Amino acid sequence: MLDRKVAPPVQPLARVTLPAADVFSLPNGARLHTLRNDAQPVVRLQVVCKAGKWYEPSTGVSLLTARMLLEGTRTRTARQIADEVAFYGASLECEQGFDRATLTLYCLTRHLPKLLPLVVDIVTEPTFPEPEFALLKARTIQNVRVERQKPSYLAAEQFSQNLFGAASPYGSKFDEDAFQTVTTAQVRQFHQQAYVLSQSEIFLCGDVTDEHNKLIAQLFGSITPAGSSILYTPTIVSSDLPNRDYVSVKGSLQSSLRIGRLWPALTHPQAHNLQVLVKVLGGYFGSRLMRNIREDKGFTYGIYSSVGPREHATSFVIGSDVNAANADAAIQEVYRELERLQNERIPTDELQTVKNYMTGKFANELSTVFEQCDKYKIQVLHDLPQSYYSEFVERVQSVQAETLLTLAQEYLAPNCMIEVVAGPK
């Protein structure tokens, strides 16, 4: 008879290998990365350009450029674009990030040849109509005003500025006055310099055929830049702002906490081991921060620690929202957990639980070809070795408590942390 009080046995996960991608150099210099899986008749196409916040010459230009791409081209209005996408039951959007901008198309395999000319048109021939541009700026400003009433937004914003520096694209705050002055001429110039197909990375995954690859090479590979593609390239400058900061939020009942520091990049030799350390601290529901600050003290509904890798800098952050009266006590407990990791070896059973969680979650994140392509894309954009993910399970399962103790002493010292609290006076 099944004893439900006894957990089922956990089988160790063997080596996990990402499917190999076919990489084609297109005639104009762009690269096409293809991952094939015909389980479902669906494909995803992503055109990734160096058009994120890192490269913008002034506040908001990269955001406005990305969001305006679908507002009309020389041959199609915004309505015609939307109607064509809807007619084929597809999905099309452009997202701007800190480093890159990504135009993403989902569609049935049989419709891809019909939609590819639309994608090329959107990337290469946007018109940035003035009425839609003005509306987008107004909506964006209103959304930021709403967000800035939330302690969590203000804490994250100030933390980024204090961590990366106000002059860095990673740390600069949204400047409403500067954003308001952005013109369509600036957006057109940024588009011409940043959305250069010859320098893009194109990722195609799903039920892909050789004909699809040939068609993309023909449509995308024949387009060469019309002008200069020189972009503004800043650097990360150490911030002179205080390590302890407070943002006043009038009338708030809660305080939002952010504690962290700059962190080694994904290319660091200890990157996998450092991920284990972060998971033990606050990377899953049974983590030390959750057990202490949520389950034992009852200060919060949730608290986390995570690593945010970007192409030019990586951050480590602990975040939580707590009752304002408990903010100081919660911060003290966070530092107590950091010191525990620096002074005590992680028990064998706790470490094994985290290893099992990480490897199981990693395998689950590879269950679809789209997720596999997401991992592969990180590998390409961060210039990681081909063995990065194939070594992940092995490195995680083999890490020892002594190694994590040494890493905690090097990277989790409380006096190296930047702390920001946003809450009532």
Maximum C-alpha span of the chain: 74
* Closest to 117 in 3D by CA, of 138, 139, 144, 92: 92
Sign of CA dihedral 156, 158, 163, 168: positive
Cβ within 8 Å of residue 302, ≥6 positions away? 290, 294, 320, 321
Which residues, listed in sequence order, are joined to residue 262 by a DSSP beta bridge?
A: 315
* Closest to 128 in 3D by CA, of 78, 72, 182, 81: 72
Q: How far apart are CA 198 and CA 220, in angstroms?
A: 8
Q: How far apart are CA 228 and CA 313, in angstroms?
A: 27
> Burial code of 231-267, b = ≥16 C-beta within 10 A, e = fewer?
beeeebeebebeeebbbebeebebbbbbbbebbbbbe
Per-residue pLDDT of the chain (425 residues; tens, 9 = 90+): 677 877 777 666 666 777 889 999 999 999 999 999 999 999 999 999 999 999 999 899 999 999 999 999 999 999 999 999 999 999 999 999 999 999 999 999 999 999 999 999 999 999 999 999 999 999 999 999 999 999 999 999 999 999 999 989 999 999 999 999 999 999 999 999 999 999 999 999 999 999 999 999 999 988 877 655 556 667 666 556 678 999 999 989 999 999 999 999 999 999 999 999 999 999 999 999 999 999 999 999 999 999 999 999 999 999 999 999 999 999 999 999 999 999 999 999 999 999 999 999 998 899 899 999 999 999 999 999 988 998 899 999 999 999 999 999 999 999 999 999 999 97
Q: What is the pLDDT of residue 13?
A: 65
Q: What is the pLDDT of residue 17?
A: 73
Q: What is the CATH number of domain 22-220?
A: 3.30.830.10
List the chain domain ranges. Answer: 22-220, 244-423
Q: What is the pLDDT of residue 80?
A: 97
pTM for this entry: 0.92
* Closest to 393 in 3D by CA, of 11, 34, 20, 36: 11
* Closest to 191 in 3D by CA, of 127, 134, 140, 146: 127
Tokens of 87: 């007619």
> Burial code of 131-157, b = ≥16 C-beta within 10 A, e = fewer?
ebbeebbeebeeeeeeeeebbbbbbbb
In one-letter notation, the amino acid at residue 181 is T
Write the CA distances from 402 to 42, 44, 256, 409, integer angstroms: 47, 43, 33, 11
Cβ within 8 Å of residue 80, ≥6 positions away? none
Domains 22-220 and 244-423 share a fold: yes
| CATH of 244-423 given 3.40.640.10, 3.30.830.10, 3.40.30.10, 3.30.70.3270 | 3.30.830.10
